[in-house]
Amino acid sequence: MELEARKNSAAALMVLLGEDLASQIMSHLDPKEVQQLSAAIEQVSGQESEYVDQLDQLLDMHDFPRTSPSVS
């Protein structure tokens, strides 16, 4: 998987997990990673993406706890 696709997948996952869980995860990243992921989240949040749809289905299949996504 190319780097941009990985960034978008990670961003979509953060959106689907919700602010609380995403911030807990991001607290373990270094500042450069947080900056890159935040930029990708902004990009993914502004659009309905295939990454959001695919990850949403995956999380539903595994009954993963999360808050409501901010992506519509």
The reported pLDDT for the residue numbered 70 is 47
pTM for the model stands at 0.66
Residue pair 37/7 in contact (Cβ under 8 Å)? The answer is yes
From first to last of its 72 residues, the chain has per-residue pLDDT tens of 688 888 888 888 888 888 899 999 999 999 999 999 999 998 887 766 676 777 777 778 877 766 654 444
CA distance linking residue 30 with residue 25, whole number of Å = 11
Nearest-10 Cα torsion for 40, 42, 48, 53: 50
Per-residue tokens: 33: 């990673």
Looking at residue 59, what is its pLDDT? Answer: 76
